[in-house]
Structure 1
Amino acid sequence: MPHERGHTPAQGELSARLSDPRYGSATITPHLLRYLTLVAAERGHDLSPALGRAGLSEAALSSVGLRVSYRQGSSVIREAVRELGDPALGLAVGRRQRVTAWGLVGLGLQASATLRDAVELGVRHHGVTGSMLDYRLEAVPAGAAILATARYTDSELRAFLLEEAFGSIVALIRDAWRKEFTPHSVSVRHHRPAYGDEYERYFRCPVTFDAPDDRLVFAADDLRRPLPGADAYTLAQVAGLLDAARTHGRERQDLVQGLEVSVARGLPHVPPLAQQALARGMSERTLRRRLAEHGTTYEALVDSVRLVRAEELMTTSDLPLHRIARMLGFSDARTLRRAVARWFGTSPSAMRGAASRLRRPA
């Protein structure tokens, strides 16, 4: 897997990523993982064990209300890349998708009046598409560009996520509009990988590596073109549903992440739910109901925060287990070992061994 400008993941980078409570927040729709699982199956690989180790299942990925965390998604992706042995897996997952892969957003793209309208809709609601990157639209001399930025410093996955993101955007446009579509240009920050020719073959446009940022550029003439499935009535319906989902998602994210930050700051002492409710001006019963409406519980959030913190401490420090257990609010090292087995399907010593091998210079 190519790294950003030759950068190798370091202990400090891993620690910064894992210590951010948002890393464990289940706020991402599982679309990317659904197609990763599909591509793996088509190649004769079963990702069920990897999904299980991340606390997921193939059946659960089809659940409309399911949300996964960045930690879960990145864990499955890393295992898939290792198992399939394909450094260009991100491109394969991206180009495998069709306009229906993005659900309501896909329908909205089809119903948009022009390609520009479709691109603006996709960028506005990219959180619903399961992307693990963030996007913004920027005017450029050629027309407009989608700029992708990482949510976490995660150089090990940057190339995969960019390839899947830009590859799926182009795949959806070709599916909804015309198969001959080509972007104006593609630029990425990482070095040209050994499979760099795959970029030119797939995107069929100039590709720049070692660029200042990651961008997919659309020509002005293409942006003005009408789409064959344009339907103002359908678009209005879809936009209303997406706006409602976006508002609900933002409320969930604010509530969940606020509680996770509070728990993370309080460890090893976990603030009781009554205290959390009082701080938010509501009753304990109301807070439980709000969490249930968002598909989670306070106990699950506490578990998630402990999981992320445990992963950080065990893979970036040499602290003894009994000290880590105390830092997480567990009674003893035995309780921590049971939690690690439940979270990761392995032992603390095995986790530390694997992390040590990854940090060892090649």
Structure 2
Amino acid sequence: MSQPMMAAGFVTALLDYVSDRGASREQLLTACGLKAEDLSDQDNRVPVTAYQALIGAAIEATGDTAILLRHTLESRLETMSVVGQIVHSSASLAHSIQQLNRYLHLMAENEGLTGQDRFELLEAVGEVWIVDHLPVFGPDYIGLEASFARFISEFRRSFPDQTFALEMDVTYPPPPHVAEYPDLFQVPVRFGTTRNALRIDPVWISEDTEFEPGNAYAFGVFTRHADALLAELGRSDTIRARIEAQILPDLHAGSLSMDKVARALGMSRQTLYRRLKEEGVTFAEIHDDLRHRMARDYLTARKVSVNETAYLLGFSEASSFVRAFRRWTGQSPTAFRDRAA
């Protein structure tokens, strides 16, 4: 399991938006661990964790917990990613959702989806829903509300005279900025439901409702570029990613054998050491970083205790896990878990 990456265009757009509102651009970049050159091209790949850190820094700098939601409603997807260009040159809503699912990883990789499309266009009992199947835990709701805001804002902007969204169901509880939902979303929202879904006007799945014609050429240009980017991502299978895939099932075992991993990868220990040196990382660093990321995932989901998390990560004692977590994050596992709640 390699570190999830995403398109730099989304980071740049949010960075610009928050900076325009008085926040220090340099401080925001420092907070997310990126440099200006990392954002020189919207197709560059940056860690998803960097974007998450930027969101947190943006909220702290502005005091606005709805800053990402506000940014999403006021921005255009086509300025951040080629996927936006593809969506806008699609033939219909169903076609655009197919493209979103096809090119999802160009925007952002997510480990929560396993063999399932993220978005589903569902028709039932005379109603039409766009269902988002991405699991949402703790503060992840910020990304989900931005996802639905993207659908609403793009259609609101492109078809100002036609109704698109009718209501929303979300699994998360009311956020701190819930009082602003009526003004921002302009549709009723039900919290704590069993799924995340946006109900839309049925006219959008009618055979008579198509997007602006004449975009077939542009659609082909953009999809060829996107396909090339996907192919490039497929070729970027690092030795780090292969090692993480090998050690993840045995993470609870604690001490892991580099020799065993090398054999599983079909190479000698010396070859594995050389490949790691070429990527500028050590086996111990990969193990430690994977423990760190999995610890955050377990504690954010709040489905296991701190002691159980320590066991799942292979720590012989909970106290050792607490010390490691303080080293990773500067806070205790309990404090992190409570804050995520």
- The Cα offsets for residues 266-320 of structure 1, whole Å up to 9 and x where unpaired, read as 8755737993795289x969x96xx9xxxx92628864552342577799979xx
Alignment match, 1:12: none
Alignment match, 1:139: 122
| Amino acid corresponding to residue 218 of structure 2 in structure 1 | T
Alignment match, 2:241: 257
TM-score by length of 2: 0.70
Unaligned runs of 5+ residues in structure 2 are 300-304, 308-314, 316-322
Q: For 1:280 and 1:313, how far apart are their aligned partners in 2?
A: 30
TM-score by length of 1: 0.67
What secondary structure is seen at the aligned counterpart in 1 of 2:13? helix
Superposition deviation, residue 161 in structure 1: 0.8
Aligned residues: 308
Q: For 2:238 and 2:155, how far apart are their aligned partners in 1?
A: 32
Alpha carbons 1:90, 1:162 under 8 Å: kept: no
Q: Kindly indicate whether residue 264 of structure 2 is the aligned counterpart of residue 271 of structure 1.
A: no
Alignment match, 1:109: 87
- % identical aligned pairs: 17
- The Cα offsets for residues 131-169 of structure 1, whole Å up to 9 and x where unpaired, read as 767522132235643322446x641x2221112111122
Alignment match, 2:230: 246
Q: For 1:349 and 1:235, how far apart are their aligned partners in 2?
A: 44
Q: Which of 132, 153, 156 is residue 174 of structure 1 equivalent to?
A: 156
Alignment match, 2:192: 210
Q: Kindly indicate whether residue 330 of structure 2 is the aligned counterpart of residue 351 of structure 1.
A: yes
Alignment match, 2:105: 127
More RCO (CA 8 Å, sep 6+): 1
| Amino acid corresponding to residue 73 of structure 2 in structure 1 | R
Superposition deviation, residue 178 in structure 1: 3.7
- The Cα offsets for residues 153-193 of structure 1, whole Å up to 9 and x where unpaired, read as 641x2221112111122222334444755313221112233
- The Cα offsets for residues 315-338 of structure 1, whole Å up to 9 and x where unpaired, read as 9979xxxxxxxx8xxxxxxxxx9x
Alpha carbons 1:188, 1:211 under 8 Å: kept: yes
RMSD: 4.4
What secondary structure is seen at the aligned counterpart in 2 of 1:198? helix
Alignment match, 1:163: 145
- The Cα offsets for residues 216-238 of structure 1, whole Å up to 9 and x where unpaired, read as 23333123422226411222332
Alignment match, 2:302: none
| Amino acid corresponding to residue 203 of structure 1 in structure 2 | F
Alignment match, 1:199: 181
Q: Kindly indicate whether residue 170 of structure 2 is the aligned counterpart of residue 188 of structure 1.
A: yes
**Structure 1 residues 270 and 299 mapped into 2: Cα distance closer, same or farther (>3 Å)?**
farther
Alpha carbons 1:145, 1:217 under 8 Å: kept: yes
Alignment match, 1:9: none
| Amino acid corresponding to residue 136 of structure 1 in structure 2 | F
Q: For 1:78 and 1:269, how far apart are their aligned partners in 2?
A: 34
What secondary structure is seen at the aligned counterpart in 1 of 2:194? coil
Alpha carbons 1:30, 1:130 under 8 Å: kept: no
**Structure 1 residues 91 and 181 mapped into 2: Cα distance closer, same or farther (>3 Å)?**
farther
Unaligned runs of 5+ residues in structure 1 are 1-20, 319-326, 328-336
Superposition deviation, residue 41 in structure 1: 0.8
Alpha carbons 1:111, 1:231 under 8 Å: kept: yes
Q: For 2:121 and 2:93, how far apart are their aligned partners in 1?
A: 15
Alpha carbons 2:8, 2:38 under 8 Å: kept: no
Alpha carbons 2:240, 2:286 under 8 Å: kept: no
Alpha carbons 2:48, 2:108 under 8 Å: kept: no
